[in-house]
Chains A and B, each alone.
Chain A
Amino acid sequence: MSRIGVFVCHCGENISATVNCEKVAKITGELKGVEFSTDYKYMCSYPGQTLIKEAIKEHKLDGVVVAACSPRMHEPTFRKACAEAGLNPFLCEMSNIREHCSWVHPKDDLTTEKAQDLVRVMVEKVKKNKALNSIKVPVTKTALVIGGGIAGIQAALDIANCGHKVIMVERQPSIGGHMSQLSETFPTLDCSQCILTPRMVEVAQHPNITLHTYSEVESVDGFIGNFKVKIRKRSKSIDEHLCTGCGLCTTKCPQKKIPNEFERGLGFRPAIYVPFPQAVPNKPVIDREHCTYYIKGKCKICEIVCPTKAIRFDQEDEVIDVAVGAIVMATGFDVLKTDYFPEYGYGKYADVIDGLAFERLASASGPTQGEIRRPSDGKIPKKIVFVACAGSRDPAKGIEYCSKICCMYTAKHAMLYKHKVHDGIPYVFYMDIRAGGKNYEEFVRRTIVEDETQYIRGRVSTIYEKNGKLIVKGADTLMGAQPVEIEADMVVLATAGVANHGAEELAQTVHISYDPYKFFAEAHPKLKPVETNTAGIFLAGACQAPKDIPESVAAASGAAVKVAALFSNDELTRDPLVAVVNRSAPPVYSQCVGCFLCQSVCPYQAIEREEIKNRNGEVIKTLARVNEGLCQGCGTCVALCRTKAIDIHGYSNQQVYTEIMALLND
C-alpha cells in the first residue's frame, strides 16, 4: 500500500483563480494510497517546500505529487526538496495544473475536474515509480565556441582565462564579425577597431585557444560534458605554417575587381585576399570561385611571387574530430536583404545604401578613409536621409519585431555625418525612438539637439531619382500625416537585423531549438537567457536576437560562466531516465530475442550487443544492452521492441499504461 502525498499549489492566484485548489486537494486526498493532501499558496516558496519536507517525514510518504506549474519549470525544485527530506527524488512527480489547466480554461467545474484528473494520473503514476540513482558521466573540459564575432571572442577569452581549453570555429577567413566592420560605436563613439583588434589578437595568441577560421561545424553528437564534433576546415589553398602574411600575393593577383564583402561592395578585392587589414589570422585565403587558376586552369601568379612557397592549389578540405564538454553558440546575425523594398531603390540607385555600408564609409580604414562620399560619384552628400525601421516592425513586408539596434546606430550615423560634414543636413525617418540603455537617450538627444538632425516621425513611401537627386517621399505623422518630400544626395536604410544565414541548419546540426525567426531559443526568456534547451549548449550575442555590443558581451560572459561552472566538476550527475533491457534467470536470460531491430533507431548508438556464454565459453544468447552513459532517454527503442524487452525509467510501460488507465477511468 502506497503512502502518497498530494500538494496542490495556488501559485498566488495563478491557479486558484480558475481552479478550486482546496477541492482538488480534498478529492484527490480520498484516492487509494493517498496518505496526505493539502493545498498552499506558493508550493515552490521556502515555506511551501518546508511543508512538503515535513509532510514526507511526518507521514512517512513514499511518493509525492505536486500539482502546480509545468514540470519543465519546477520539477528539479521539488525533486530536490524531496531528496532533502530523504525521499528518492524520482518518487516525486508534478501535475501541470497551471500552464495546462488554470491558464487555458475558464473558472468553472470542468476546469477543477480536469485538475483533479491530472492529479489522479500522477498519483497512479507515482505508485509505479522506482527509486533511481543519478548516473555519473565524465566532463571533457574543453569548450567549443562557434562564431568569432565580439560575442564569441568574449566567451572564448573568459573561458580560456578560467584555465579551460577553447576551440573556436569561425566560417569567415577572419574573426571579428560585424563589429570589425563598424566605424565608431554608440553611445561613446569609440573606434570599433581600436577596442576590438586587441581582443582578436588575444584570441589568436591565447595558449588555451585553438582557432579554426574558414571552418564550419559539420556534426555534433553526444551530450553535455561529452560532445563529439566534426569540424570542416575549408581549404584556404595556403600552407598557414609557411605563410608569413607578407601580402605580396594579394597585390599581384590579376583578379582585382571582385566586390569586397567586407566593404559591403563599396570596394574591390583580389581572389587571394585578407578580408581586412587587421584580420586575425592575418593570412590570405584563395577564393576559389573567383580565382583565375580554378576557373581557367592557369595563372598561379601568387605561387610564383610567394617568397615562402606557401600556396597550395591542391589543398583539400580537412575534417577534424574534437571532443568538447560544452558549446557556446555565437554565430551572430545578418541584416535583412534590402531587395524586399523595391520602392526604396536599393540596388537600383548606387546612393541608396544600408547601415553597414555607411559604417564602412565612416570608417577611417574604409574605402574612403573615413570621408563621407557617396558611392555614385564620390561627391560629399549635403543632405542624407536615414530611414529607420527598414523592414523592422513591418509584418506585411519585413519582420514583426523591433531590431533594437537600428534607432541607436541611425542616431550614431547622423551624428558621425554631422561631425564629418559640418554643413550637411541629416534627416531621420523613424516610427518611435527606442533608446533604452545607459546613456542611450542622452546620445539620441545630442544627435537631435547638438547635431541638428531633423527627425521626422513617419514611414517613407518611395524613393526615386530625379536630376541627380534622390527624392524621398513620406509622411510626417506628427504633423497630421502631412506629406514630406526631401531631395537627398544619399539615403541610408537601417535594415532589420535578422537571423544569420544558415542559422536554422546549424541549430539542427547541434540540436537546439530556434524561434519562428530562426534566432536560437533560450531555455527560459527571463531566468535562463544564455542556456538552451539542450544541456551543455549556451548562447552568446546576436544569434539569439538582435543585440548591441554591450549586450552581446554581457551574454557572452554569462555563457562563459555557465561553461566554467560546468567545468568545475570532474563528473556530472545525470537523470537516470534511461532505457534498460530486462534480464531474467536462465535459460531465457531476457525477453530480448536479440533481433537488434532496435539498434539502428537509437540516435546515440547506445544499444550494444552482449553475449551470454556458458561455462565452456560458448555464446548461447546474444542480447541487447543499453549503455547508460550514452542513452539520452528518448525511448524510441522502447516503442520499437515488440517483445517489450526494453523499458525506460520514468516513462516505463507500466507507468504510461497506468497513466492512461487513470486518466480515462475515474
Chain B
Amino acid sequence: MQEFEPKIVAFVCNWCTYAGADLTGTSRIKYSANVKIIRFPCTGRIDFMILMKAFENGADGIIVSGCHPNDCHYSTGNFHARRRWIVFRNLLNFSGIDTERIQFSWVSAAEGFKWADVVNNTVKKIREIGPYENYNKIAVSTLFKEEGATNE
C-alpha cells in the first residue's frame, strides 16, 4: 500500500519562523514536501477561523509557528496569539476536534534545524494518525453539495 501523504499547512509569522524556514533552505536541510507555508505578518494575525478553514478544505494537519516569547517583531503579537491558542485548543478538544493535528511551535530566525524537525515530526505524527476522516467527511461532502456557493 502506498504511504499516506498528509496535507499539512503551516501558518507562520514573517519575522521568525518564515525566516527560520528560509534558513533551513539556505542550510540545505531536507524536510518533507507535504508541508506548505502561508506567510502572515505575525502570529497575532492568525485568526482561529483560518485554522478551521484549513481543516475543512482537507488539511490533515496544521502547523502554527512564530517567534519565541519576548522575541516578537511587534513585541507582543505572539503573547496574544498564545492566549488565543490556549482557549481555542480547549474549545476544539471539547468539540471533538483532534488537537493532535495542530502543532504549535516557536521557531526563531536562527532555528533552521528546528524548523526541519518541527515539519518532519509533524508529518510523521500525522502519517501515524492517518487522514482526518471525521472532518473530511463533512467537509468534502458538503463542499461538493454546494460547489460554487461557498467557493466564490
Residues of A within 8 A of B (CB): 70-73, 96, 98-101, 103-106, 110-111, 113-114, 117-118, 121, 508, 511, 513, 515-516, 521, 533-534, 577, 601, 603-604, 632-636, 638-640, 648, 650-651, 653, 656-657, 659-661, 663-665
Task: Enumerate chain A residues within 8 angstroms of B21, measured Cβ to Cβ.
Answer: 99-100
Chain B residues lying within 8 Å of A660, measured Cβ to Cβ, are 9, 38, 50, 53-54, 57
Contact A72 B110 (CB under 8 A): no
Residues of B with C-beta under 8 A to A118: 36
Which residues, 1 to 36 on B, are CB-close (under 8 Å) to A? 7, 9, 14-16, 18-19, 21-26, 28-33, 36
Of the listed stretches B73-81, B92-100, B123-131, name the one at the interface; the rest are far from the partner chain: B73-81
- Report the separation of the CA atoms of residues A653 and B19 in the bound assembly, to the nearest whole angstrom: 23
Closest B residue by C-beta to A99: B25
Shortest CB distance B63–A (Å): 13
A634 and B54 contacting across the interface, CB-CB below 8 Å: no
Instruction: Give the shortest distance, in Å, between A78 (CB) and chain B (any CB).
Output: 15
- Pairwise interchain contact A635-B42, C-beta atoms closer than 8 A: yes
Per-residue 0/1 for B106-146: is the Cβ within 8 Å of any A Cβ (1 yes, 0 no)? Answer: 00111000001000000000000000000000000000000
Best-surrounded residue of A508, A511, A515, A603 (most CB of chain B within 10 A): A603
Q: Are B44 and A635 closer than 8 Å at their CB atoms?
A: yes
Contact (Cβ within 8 A) A534 B25: no
Contacts of A111 in B (CB 8 A): 33
Given known contacts A99-B25, A664-B57, A106 and B30 CB-to-CB distance under 8 angstroms: yes
Q: Could you list 6 examples of A-B contacts with CB < 8 Å? A: A633-B41, A634-B44, A635-B45, A635-B77, A639-B46, A664-B7
CA distance A375 to B84 in the complex (A): 59
Q: Are A636 and B45 in contact (CB under 8 A)?
A: yes
Q: Number of contact residues on B: which range applies? A: 35 or more
Nearest to B116 among chain A residues (CB) is A104
B81 contacts across to A, CB distance below 8 A: 636, 639
Q: Report the Cα distance A536→B24, complex, angstroms.
A: 27
What's the nearest-Cβ distance from chain B to residue A217, in Å?
Answer: 15
CB distance from A212 to the nearest CB of B (A): 24
Cα-based distance from A111 to B34 in the complex (angstroms): 9
Q: A98-B25, A660-B54 known; A533 and B73 CB under 8 Å?
A: yes
A604 to B74, CA, bound (A): 8
Q: How far is the CB of B108 from chain A (nearest CB, A)?
A: 7
Whether the Cβ atoms of A114 and B109 lie closer than 8 Å is no
Distance from B85 Cβ to chain A, minimum over Cβ atoms (Å): 11
Contact A100 B77 (CB under 8 A): no
User: Chain A residues with Cβ under 8 A from B84's Cβ?
Assistant: 639
Assess the A665–B28 pair: CB atoms within 8 A: no
- Are B42 and A634 in contact (CB-based, < 8 A)? yes
Taken residue by residue from 37 to 66, chain B's Cβ proximity to chain A (1 for < 8 Å, 0 otherwise) reads as 111111011111010011001110000000
Chain B min CB distance to A666 (Å): 10
Q: Which B residues touch A101, using CB under 8 A? A: 33
B110 touches A634 (CB 8 A): no
A587 vs B40: C-alpha distance in the bound complex, in angstroms?
Answer: 34
Query: Which of B19, B24, B54: most chain A Cβ within 10 A?
Result: B19
A-B complex: 6 closest residue pairs judged by Cβ atoms: A635-B45, A99-B25, A636-B44, A634-B74, A664-B57, A103-B25
Residues of B within 8 A of A72 (CB): 14, 18-19, 22
Contacts of B23 in A (CB 8 A): 99
Bound-state Cα–Cα, A653 to B44, Å: 14
**B151/A661 in contact, CB under 8 A:** yes
A73 surroundings in chain B (CB, below 8 A): 22
Given A73-B22, A110-B33, 4 further pairs, Cβ under 8 A: A104-B30, A105-B30, A634-B77, A659-B38
